[in-house]
Amino acid sequence: MHIEITDNTTFHEIQEAFADFYPYLQLEFYKKPHKKYEASAEKDLIYPGHTVDEVKETHISGLLEILPLSKAADVEKEFQYRFGLPVQILRKEKDKWVQTTGMDDFTLKELNELGRNSSDDFIVDDYEEGFTEEENKPDKLY
């Protein structure tokens, strides 16, 4: 996937583009960067309606490529390094979003799958798709 980031891009637009590819992951932007395996403080969260130029002092536009086999830490680092945007990847865990701080070495594909597996929606969808159990009856009783 590719995300174009310009001064006029809102954080919400970036989040939506990311969520289209990774529905069980979420991007959150913060005022301060964090280190690998470190959480970001809720008080530093940036409102998604802001545009990039409202938050950044340095104005750099570009295209960011995010691949399924990219590690979470590498994606976060790329946002910080190329655009000066501190970002945290969150994973859906049942009905809430949690920062992937201890999972920074996992790929986006792995994290998305973990989020999918922990989601109640996944379980309900499987059931509604016609989960059936085969009956194992012996032909004859011995």
What are the residue boundaries of the structural domains of the chain, listed by start?
Answer: 2-128
Q: Are strands 62-65 and 25-29 parallel, antiparallel or unpaired?
A: unpaired
What is the value of pTM for the model shown?
0.79
Distance CA 30, CA 46 (A): 5
Q: Measured between alpha carbons, how far is residue 83 from residues 128, 136, 141 in Å?
A: 43, 59, 71
The answer, yes or no, to whether residue 142 has pLDDT greater than 60, is no
Mean per-residue pLDDT over the chain, rounded: 87
Contact (CB, 8 A) for 50 and 15: no
Banded pLDDT at 58 (limits 50, 70, 90): confident
Distance between CA atoms of residues 125 and 116, nearest Å: 11
